[in-house]
């Protein structure tokens, strides 16, 4: 039996395998409402056999969207609209998860295929981005964000809590806090984006505060029995960023604050990604393994993993517990079935619904 297809139990959730659909924005919502597109996009990947399906970065407030097409959980109509999606995913034997997020200084942008840049401030759909400091990201995101007041920090924390409650109402059983990719929480942690001089900036303690307080507030409303996880940007690979040891210490404190798993990812606090060692097959694996070993917390990871044997080896080698698949499963919803065929010919049909399995077994 392959390692990729071994079960993973975390709290009261049991994943049938170690393959998760990584959160992937579809930029296809209107007023933050998920639609038939989201049902079919996520549902197809549940049919395809992934153990965990994580819905895209879903904004905790309208100003937390990356683009006008991002999904939300800031009102009850949105919570209602997610319900058929979680129902379908569960009926297919997968676990429904969702990532909640605030886009910070990267907010108010166009969809990738419509420019992937900040909307002009005069655009009818544009809004004022918020951030720890009034420091622009740069590149195609040149807008100078508004530095948040303490009241605004409190408001966004409360928005995370309200969205977590709604995620629960919608039937999600796995919550991912988006603390990566240069969005709001990540930009509080990164000295590349945070130049505050109050209790939310400067020292490691202060830069960690927004993340730890948000986690603690969400922990109070998210039930103990369902996993509370986070995607954390641990490195940007640019001069002037926090040392990796700080990111590891932050994970340690997050675990003490009730985090059940960390998805190790990149910072993306700068448009300069030239030093990221992209390579092939999981360049973040040594860091995920180190965090898993030193902190003793289950880890997940994505980035450039496409080949089943390489994925299986990462799980077998104890480097991570869960594979977050992005583009490979975007291109092929049946990646898990094909991986099962490649790794373990006896089990592949068990991944499929009987509507498909019966026929494919006859081949």
Ligand X SMILES: Cc1cc2nc3c(=O)[nH]c(=O)nc-3n(C[C@H](O)[C@H](O)[C@H](O)COP(=O)(O)O)c2cc1C
Pick between residue 45 and residue 181 the one whose CB is nearest to ligand X: 181
Interface with ligand X includes 325 (CB under 6 A)? yes
**Applying CB under 6 A, does 25 fall inside the site for ligand X?**
yes
Out of 183, 200, 337, 349, pick the active-site residue.
183
CB 191 within 8 A of CB 242: yes
Residue 59: its H or E element = strand 52-59
Is position 63 an interface residue for ligand X (rule: CB under 6 A)?
no
Shortest Å, Cβ 301 to ligand X: 9
The footprint of ligand X on this chain (CB under 6 A) covers a number of residues equal to 20
Nearest to 132 by CA among 59, 177, 176, 183: 183
Write down the residue that tokens 């979680």 correspond to.
86
> Alpha-carbon distance 179 to 156, whole Å?
13
By the rule CB under 6 A, 86 interacts with ligand X? no
The answer to whether 99 contacts ligand X (rule: CB under 6 A) is yes
SS3 readout for 294-353: HHCCCEEECCCCCCHHHHHHHHHCCCCCEEEECHHHHHCCCHHHHHHHHHCCCCHHHHCC
Contact yes or no for 200/232 (Cβ under 8 A): no
Site for ligand X contains 3 (CB under 6 A): no
Among 303, 335, 337, 349, binds ligand X (CB under 6 A): 303
Residues 211, 311, 328, 339: which binds ligand X (CB under 6 A)?
Answer: 328
- Residue 304 near ligand X by CB under 6 A: yes
Identity of the residue, 24 or 251, whose beta carbon is nearer to ligand X in the bound complex = 24
Cα–Cα distance between 340 and 152 in angstroms, integer?
48
50 binds ligand X (CB under 6 A): no
Member of 8, 15, 24, 288 binding ligand X (CB under 6 A): 24
**Tokens of residue 121, six digits:** 């401030």
CA distances from 234 to 164, 186, 244 (A): 23, 9, 7
Residue 183 falls in the annotated catalytic set: yes
Question: What tokens does 57 get?
Answer: 């970065």
326 binds ligand X (CB under 6 A): yes
Residue 13's DSSP bridge partners are 10
Is position 254 an interface residue for ligand X (rule: CB under 6 A)? no
Beta carbon of residue 22, minimum distance to ligand X (angstroms, whole number):
3
Tokens read off for 20 = 């998760």
CA distance 160 to 155: 9
Of 1-9, 166-174, 307-315, 323-331, the segment contacting ligand X by CB under 6 A is 323-331
Residue number closest to ligand X, CB atom: 326
Nearer to ligand X among residue 133 and residue 302 (C-beta): 302
Q: Which of 194, 208, 270, 302 lies at the binding interface for ligand X (CB under 6 A)? A: 302
Comparison of 99 and 242: residue with beta carbon closer to ligand X: 99
How far CA 72 is from CA of 94, 161, 230, 231, 332, in Å, comes to: 22, 13, 18, 18, 26
Whole-angstrom Cα Rg for the chain: 20
Residue 23 is a binding residue for ligand X (CB under 6 A): yes
> For ligand X, which is the closer residue by CB, 253 or 327?
327
Distance CA 241, CA 236 (A): 7
Residue 22 in the binding site for ligand X (CB under 6 A):
yes
339 lines the binding site for ligand X (CB under 6 A): no
Task: Specify the stretch interacting with ligand X by CB under 6 A; choose among 71-79, 88-96, 320-328, 342-350.
Answer: 320-328
- The smaller minimum CB distance to ligand X, of residues 112 and 240, is found at 112
Q: How far is CA 310 from CA 250, 257, 258, 285, 302, in A?
A: 29, 33, 31, 11, 12
Within 189-228, the residues that bind ligand X by CB under 6 A are none
Q: From the list 213, 327, 332, 356, which residue makes contact with ligand X (rule: CB under 6 A)? A: 327
Asked if residues 229 and 320 have their Cβ atoms less than 8 Å apart, the reply is no
Binding site for ligand X (CB under 6 A): 22-25, 56-57, 99, 178, 180-181, 231, 302-305, 324-328
Please give the positions annotated as active site: 183
């Amino acid at each position: 039996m392959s390692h990729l297809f071994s079960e993973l139990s975390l709290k009261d959730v049991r994943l049938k395998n170690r393959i998760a659909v990584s959160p992937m924005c579809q930029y296809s919502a209107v007023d933050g409402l998920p639609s038939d597109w989201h049902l079919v996009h996520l549902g197809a990947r549940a049919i395809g056999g992934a153990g965990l399906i994580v819905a895209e970065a879903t904004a905790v407030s309208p100003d937390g969207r990356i683009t006008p097409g991002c999904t939300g959980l800031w009102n009850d109509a949105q919570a209602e609209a997610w319900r058929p999606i979680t129902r379908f995913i569960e009926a297919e034997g997968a676990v429904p998860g969702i990532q909640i997020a605030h886009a910070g200084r990267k907010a108010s942008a166009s969809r990738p295929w419509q420019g992937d840049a900040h909307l002009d401030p005069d655009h009818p759909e544009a809004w004022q981005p918020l951030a720890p400091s009034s420091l622009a990201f740069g590149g195609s995101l040149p807008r100078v964000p508004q530095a948040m007041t303490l009241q605004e920090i409190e408001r966004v924390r409360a928005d995370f809590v309200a969205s977590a409650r709604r995620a629960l109402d919608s039937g999600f059983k796995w919550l991912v806090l988006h603390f990566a990719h240069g969005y709001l929480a990540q930009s509080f942690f990164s000295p590349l984006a945070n130049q505050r001089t109050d209790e939310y900036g400067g020292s490691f303690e202060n830069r960690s505060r927004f993340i730890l307080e948000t986690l603690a507030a969400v922990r109070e409303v998210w039930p103990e029995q369902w996993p509370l996880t986070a995607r954390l940007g641990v490195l940007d690979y640019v001069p002037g960023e926090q040392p990796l040891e700080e990111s590891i210490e932050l994970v340690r404190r997050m675990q003490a604050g009730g985090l059940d798993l960390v998805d190790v990812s990149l910072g993306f606090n700068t448009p300069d990604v030239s030093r990221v060692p992209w390579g092939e097959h999981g360049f973040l694996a040594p860091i995920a393994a180190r965090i898993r070993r030193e902190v003793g917390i289950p880890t997940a990871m994505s980035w450039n993993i496409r080949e089943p044997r390489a994925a299986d080896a990462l799980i077998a080698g104890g480097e991570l517990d869960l594979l977050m698949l992005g583009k490979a499963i975007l291109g092929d919803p049946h990646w898990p079935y094909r991986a099962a065929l490649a790794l373990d010919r006896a089990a592949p049909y068990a991944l499929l619904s009987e509507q498909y399995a019966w026929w494919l077994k006859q081949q």
